[in-house]
């Protein structure tokens, strides 16, 4: 795999999320990396191997001891020793403590200002961190491609632009020959993982129609995505044409060039053409040799610069739709992200605040941009919103969209855009562009087209953070099962489920980044959130885990109708998801579900952030899969911004749906923290925060709401949620119970007021009458029994 003039070849299994369900069946042979140019291999005597190749492929060096950059999970023994203790797997002996910890919900422990210390981005990056992450070597920078990809992976190249000499069946047709396309679990369906020729000879080809005169500069190849088959191309030729009748081969001097292909099924292999590359409309990839135990199968991307057609008087119609927004459309590594965030705070210092919620395993800070009219503090009644991106470091589009979003809000706020001004003044917004900065840096160094499907997905410790949060679903369902078997509701709890004891230990298999996000959740009372991913086009909502460990099964929350509304809001306003003519990304057609799906009904995920957020906090969270291409080329970022801009804004506005209010002490008017807000017929409660304010997301309708708090009498009222884009205010004032008032008075050494004395006297008389009545009833029954005998 090319990176900065150097070819790094390591095995990368890179399974898709759908394939994860079949990991128990997944078995492959890891081949040694055999890099052979047209003249073979030459040992340099210093542990490196030099590749001699044709003029079209640059001379490269492969070092066996290069730092780990494959997509296989890294060895934790290589982790930096100065960081916190490496994660270790949980033992089964600790799980028996889970149910016992659910008997009492936790008390709120956050402070009233709900803020983190401001980060000074003028300070340099720690030298030790800089040395660990960036070695100042050429391969640390992504390869600068002369021309961008045509768009086989991103689907800009349509199915009708792809042809082949033959194909085994529809599921292995030319439309499946796209870089990084993922197969389903089963071979033989219409969603297989490559183009595969019907015949095994050197006359087979895959053809791409660029539709315009194009200066082709290179080809990227992968083998077949499959958990059952092992197919890839070893060598291939390339031909060009303007009419598909006459074909001109790519030449190496006076001979037809033969290019090196793959050594495994997943690692992308790049071949660059020489400077006098042919300008044509069509390009063919013609396999010459393939893995001996496999067949002719490939996935491809083509690099090329489109040229204006002098014969086309309607060339203006071919101009691709971009965006009018003046934003920084490129991929930003950690250093560049810091600079961009700093520039936004300098442009809009009155509405922005940068803070860090923690550090990654390699020591990179996890920066958050806060946007509010009073940044740095929580305002009574103002909801808190968050976007999180980059949980999987190689899913880079979400990172860039959040960086674009903070620039856009700053610019539009200064221009007086009333929609943005209202959003900033009425909402406290938190944007975390990179939850997994270590993983992103690994993928970024390879480049958007050469990172493959899974390089950078995991944390540096090899942890998939989307499976790394505490499994509170199990705690809840175990409690329900206990109640069913013992008819004991004391352990039932439907909200604020505490984290099991084993999960909080230093030895728990929990990433440092996950711990930082959990602490962030516990310190700020978020109301609504979305977790931005990539590799598909769909919005998923909780629950993400099935109750009985089925591979997939619809597992709704008590708030299912509102979650479906949230998912629909984003999907229906996304320009690509809402396009009825779009083709499926990989192996699922989500259009039949209107581009939304219950997470567990797609594939079960234990320990997801969505489920944890719903069960441990007041926050509703969904996952947005933004694009078929996890790491789109920089040239596609303006289009992706335009596809998602309205969705990002309108989703944030949903934080103002439902009810909000303040729960106060009737006598003192002080806010009551930790009050439980129960909506009739919805078996999921929320709690008020330190100042007594609360937010309950609900669809339009009339609801019976009951509020209770320790030491207070419950209060119930009817609250109507309207269709307008603002919440219904539903305040509560609670009166202390006589017992609580008595306790507080006696604690202060004071005398009881007359009304409380009268109330206590009435209670005593009531108890006396009840006990007297019970005694008389027992005596009467005994007398009747005596007379009968």
- The catalytic residue positions are 625
Residue found under tokens 């100065």:
82
Give the Cβ contact number of residue 731 at 10 Å.
Answer: 16
Q: Which of 342, 356, 352 is nearest to 409 (CA)?
A: 352
Separation of alpha carbons 60 and 358, rounded Å = 39
8 A C-beta contact, residue 735 and residue 713: yes
Pairing of the two strands 233-241 and 279-290: antiparallel
Helices then strands, each counted (H, E), the chain: 14, 32
Q: Which two tokens stand for residue 131?
A: 């040395």
Measure Cα distances from 58 to 45, 264, 289, 302, 491 in Å. Answer: 21, 20, 21, 18, 66
8 A C-beta contact, residue 116 and residue 497: no
Residue 592 makes CB contacts below 8 A (sequence gap 6+) with none
Q: Which two tokens stand for residue 26?
A: 């997944």
The three-state (H, E, C) secondary structure of 631-648, written as one string? CCCHHHHHHHHHHHHHHH
Q: Which two tokens stand for residue 518?
A: 């959990």
Give the Cβ contact number of residue 725 at 10 Å.
Answer: 11
Separation of alpha carbons 683 and 676, rounded Å = 12
Pairing of the two strands 384-389 and 428-432: parallel
Q: Which two tokens stand for residue 686?
A: 């929320």
CA angle 622, 366, 443 (to 5 degrees): 80
Separation of alpha carbons 706 and 216, rounded Å = 67
Q: Rg of the chain's alpha carbons, rounded to an integer? A: 31
User: Residues 578, 579, 583, 589: is their CA dihedral positive or negative?
Assistant: positive
Separation of alpha carbons 718 and 728, rounded Å = 11
Residue found under tokens 């090329």:
304
8 A C-beta contact, residue 661 and residue 730: yes
Separation of alpha carbons 509 and 468, rounded Å = 8
Coil vs helix vs strand at 303: strand
End-to-end CA distance of the chain: 100
User: Residues 410, 440, 302, 162: is their CA dihedral positive or negative?
Assistant: negative
Pairing of the two strands 206-222 and 297-306: antiparallel
Give the Cβ contact number of residue 617 at 10 Å.
Answer: 22
The three-state (H, E, C) secondary structure of 234-300, written as one string? EEEEEEEECCCCCCEECEECCEECCEECCCCCCCCEEEECCCCCCEEEEEEEEEEEECCCCCCEEEE
């Amino acid at each position: 795999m090319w990176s900065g003039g150097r070819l790094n070849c390591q095995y990368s299994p890179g399974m898709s999320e759908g394939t994860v369900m079949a990991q128990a069946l997944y078995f492959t042979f890891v081949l040694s990396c055999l890099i052979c140019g047209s003249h073979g291999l030459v040992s340099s005597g210093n542990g490196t191997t030099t590749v001699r190749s044709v003029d079209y492929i640059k001379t490269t060096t492969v070092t066996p001891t290069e730092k780990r950059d494959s997509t296989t999970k890294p060895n934790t023994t290589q982790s930096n020793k100065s960081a916190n203790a490496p994660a270790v797997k949980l033992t089964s002996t600790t799980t028996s403590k889970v149910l016992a910890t659910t008997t009492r919900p936790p008390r709120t422990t956050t402070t009233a200002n709900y803020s983190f210390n401001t980060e000074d981005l003028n300070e340099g990056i720690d030298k030790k961190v800089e040395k660990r992450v960036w070695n100042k070597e050429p391969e640390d920078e992504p390869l600068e491609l002369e021309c961008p990809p045509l768009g086989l992976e991103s689907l800009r190249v349509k199915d009708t632009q792809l042809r082949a000499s033959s194909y085994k069946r529809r599921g292995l047709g030319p439309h499946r020959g796209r870089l990084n396309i993922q197969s389903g679990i089963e071979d033989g369906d219409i969603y297989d993982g490559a183009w595969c020729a019907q015949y095994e000879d050197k006359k087979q080809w895959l053809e791409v129609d660029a539709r315009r005169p194009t200066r082709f500069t290179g080809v990227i190849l992968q083998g077949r995505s499959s958990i059952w088959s092992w197919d890839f191309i070893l060598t291939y030729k390339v031909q060009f044409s303007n009419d598909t009748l006459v074909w001109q081969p790519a030449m190496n001097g006076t001979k037809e060039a033969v290019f090196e292909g793959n050594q495994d099924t997943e690692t992308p292999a790049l071949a660059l053409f020489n400077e006098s590359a042919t300008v044509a409309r069509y390009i063919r990839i013609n396999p010459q040799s393939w893995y001996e135990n496999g067949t002719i199968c490939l996935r491809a991307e083509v690099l090329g610069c489109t040229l204006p057609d002098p014969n086309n008087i309607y060339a203006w119609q071919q101009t691709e739709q971009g965006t009018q927004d003046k934003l920084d459309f490129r991929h930003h590594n950690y250093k560049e992200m810091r600079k961009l965030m700093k520039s936004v705070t300098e442009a809009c210092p009155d509405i922005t605040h940068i803070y860090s919620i923690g550090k990654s395993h390699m020591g990179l800070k996890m920066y958050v941009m806060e946007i509010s009219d009073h940044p740095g503090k929580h305002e009574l009644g103002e909801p808190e919103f968050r976007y999180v991106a980059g949980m999987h470091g190689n899913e880079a589009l979400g990172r860039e969209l959040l960086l674009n979003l903070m620039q856009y809000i700053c610019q539009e706020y200064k221009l007086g855009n009333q929609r943005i001004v209202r959003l900033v003044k009425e909402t406290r917004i938190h944007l975390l562009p990179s939850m997994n900065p270590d993983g992103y840096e690994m993928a970024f160094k390879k480049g958007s087209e050469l990172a493959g499907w899974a390089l950078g997905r995991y944390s540096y410790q090899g942890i998939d953070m989307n499976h790394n949060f505490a499994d509170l679903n199990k705690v809840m369902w175990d409690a329900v099962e206990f109640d069913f078997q013992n008819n004991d509701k004391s352990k039932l709890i439907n909200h604020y489920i505490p984290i099991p004891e084993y999960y909080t230990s230093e030895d728990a298999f929990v990433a440092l980044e996950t711990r930082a996000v959990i602490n962030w959740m516990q310190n700020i009372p978020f109301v609504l959130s979305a977790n931005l991913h990539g590799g598909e086009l769909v919005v998923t909502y909780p629950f993400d885990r099935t109750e009985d460990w089925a591979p997939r099964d619809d597992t709704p929350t008590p708030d299912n109708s509102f979650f479906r509304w949230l998912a629909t809001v984003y999907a229906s306003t996304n320009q690509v998801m809402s396009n009825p003519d779009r083709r499926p990304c990989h192996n699922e057609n989500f259009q039949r579900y209107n581009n939304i799906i219950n997470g567990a009904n797609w594939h079960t995920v234990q320990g997801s952030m969505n489920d944890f957020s719903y069960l441990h906090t007041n926050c509703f969270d969904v996952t947005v899969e933004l694009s078929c291409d996890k790491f789109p080329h920089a040239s596609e970022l303006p289009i992706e911004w335009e596809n998602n801009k309205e969705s990002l804004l309108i989703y944030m506005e949903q934080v103002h749906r439902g009810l909000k209010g303040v729960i106060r002490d009737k006598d003192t008017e002080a806010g009551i923290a930790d009050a439980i807000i129960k909506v009739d017929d919805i078996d999921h409660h929320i709690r008020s925060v330190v100042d007594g304010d609360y937010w309950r997301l609900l669809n339009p309708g009339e609801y019976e709401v009951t509020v209770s708090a320790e030491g207070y009498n419950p209060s119930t009222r009817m609250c109507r949620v309207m269709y307008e884009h603002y919440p219904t205010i539903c305040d509560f004032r609670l009166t202390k119970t006589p017992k609580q008032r008595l306790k507080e008075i006696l604690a202060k050494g004071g005398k009881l007021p007359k009304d409380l004395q009268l109330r206590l006297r009435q209670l005593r008389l009531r108890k006396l009458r009840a006990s007297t009545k019970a005694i008389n009833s027992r005596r009467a029954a005994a007398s009747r029994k005596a007379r009968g005998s």
